[in-house]
Amino acid sequence: MDVNDVVQERIAAARRKAENDKRRREELAAARKRGLAYRHAQKLRNLANSLNNQTLAASGAH
């Protein structure tokens, strides 16, 4: 192996690492987006339930 072969191997390894890092960031971003959407939907459900409970309490119904 000469120096050019070593350099080419290092370049290829760096490209593989960059591709793997990019793929991992994309997967984490997708998971984060799903989690944010779930938390937002849960917040809206909790808010709706809270408003329903306040309305029932104000009307005297149980």
Does 60 have pLDDT greater than 80?
no
61 pLDDT higher than 70: no
Would the pLDDT of 27 be above 90? yes
pTM for this predicted structure: 0.61
Mean pLDDT in residue range 47-62 = 76
The whole-angstrom distance between residue 54's C-alpha and the CA centroid of its chain comes to 34
Pairwise CA distance, residues 18 & 50, whole Å: 47
In this prediction, residue 54 has a pLDDT band, given cuts at 50, 70 and 90, of: confident
